[in-house]
Amino acid sequence: MRISVNNQPFEVSGNKTLIEELRAAGIEVPSLCYAGGHEHHASCMVCMVKDVRTGQMLPSCSTMPRDGMEIETDSPEVKELRRMSIELLLSDHRADCEAPCTLVCPKGIDAAQVIWYYDNGMKAEAKALLDGRDCRDCARTPCMKACRRGTVDNSVDIKGIIDNLAADDSIPTANAVSMADTGKETFNSRIGRFTDMEKSLMRQQYTQHSHCLHCACNGRDKCRLRRLSTEAGIKATRYGVSSELPFKQETQVKGRLWFDPAKCIRCGLCVYNTTDGFTFRYRGYRMQVIIPDESRDNVTEEIVQLCPTGALYISKEK
């Protein structure tokens, strides 16, 4: 079967979807809700291509080529609409890719990760991550000014914790990893403002050790939404962020698998690929993905690979 792609003749077998054919030929097509070999139903529309004859935008992940079809994959129109779909998803995505404290640190310390190790009793790793740096000569403490906890009540004493760690010579050395990507070009999602309700909830929920909210996303290293946003050069969504997603309501699904609904883009991959596991609730803008308590056992950790965002993640906890 012969079609044309970007005005070039293009040979297809006729039994694979457009995205499969295009990618096999090395033509880049971004996507979020598509997972080869798994059940998927067009949702994100990021993979769209234009059918030149009808003027229609088609999700290439679910469209079978038809003889003589003329496809456009890289026109400004297609790129703009892809970008818009990502921006729309981001406007309903309550997440901080990186914690603000890490982003603003003039010394490049992954403060969020240090505090996380600290809160989980892993002082050796925390100190290792400092790599000899400390905050003693930092008077402005931008990290503590940026701290999300500061908008709830009082910021986390980041400087105090780090300086204590740095000064404590009894802490052994260990291996530590940072997921932080603070590159200027890398996209960073923003949580937005907390409601009063959320604030009071967080005051009750985060009472241990540093009081840190751990706002950095736990699944950012695998997040395709972040990667595509970076590639599209998005800095912020033009629609702002307003969402009805339950914020900071992470639940342990099973074993090390966790679910954070605030980051879910409702693509449904986890719904379609579990049996009596994840499910949709409500419809339209209010639609959520949930995991009923009774159904947790029907899910395996592998499902994390299908999730295109940090909504499903494997916890780093010991």
Q: Should residue 89 be labelled a site residue for another protein when binding is judged by CB under 8 A? A: yes
Task: Give the strand order in the sheet containing 70-72.
Answer: 8-11, 2-5, 70-72, 48-51, 56-59
Distance CA 255, CA 301 (A): 8
CB atoms within 10 A of CB 88: 16
| Site size with another protein, rule: CB under 8 A | 49
**Amino acid symbol at 156:** V
Strand partners, 288: 281
**Closer residue to another protein (CB): 150 or 292:** 292
User: With CB under 8 A as the contact rule, which of the stretches 138-146, 188-196, 218-226, 291-299 interacts with another protein?
Assistant: 291-299
Per the structure block, which two tokens stand in for 240? 């702002």
Q: Which is nearer to another protein, 286 or 318 (CB)?
A: 286
Tracing tokens 């971004």 back to the chain, one arrives at: 30
Contact with another protein (CB under 8 A) among 81, 124, 171, 234 = 81
Query: Rounded CA gap, 84 and 61, in Å?
Result: 18
**Residues of span 249-268 touching another protein by CB under 8 A:** 265-266, 268
Closest to 160 measured CA to CA, from 118, 190, 196: 118
178: contact with another protein by CB under 8 A: no
Nearer to another protein among residue 185 and residue 294 (C-beta): 294
Residue 64 contacts another protein per CB under 8 A: yes
Residue from the set 30, 59, 65, 310 that interacts with another protein by CB under 8 A: 59
Query: Where do contacts with another protein occur on this chain (CB under 8 A)?
Result: 41-46, 48, 55-59, 62-64, 66, 80-81, 84-85, 88-89, 91-92, 238-239, 242, 265-266, 268, 271, 274-287, 290, 292, 294-295
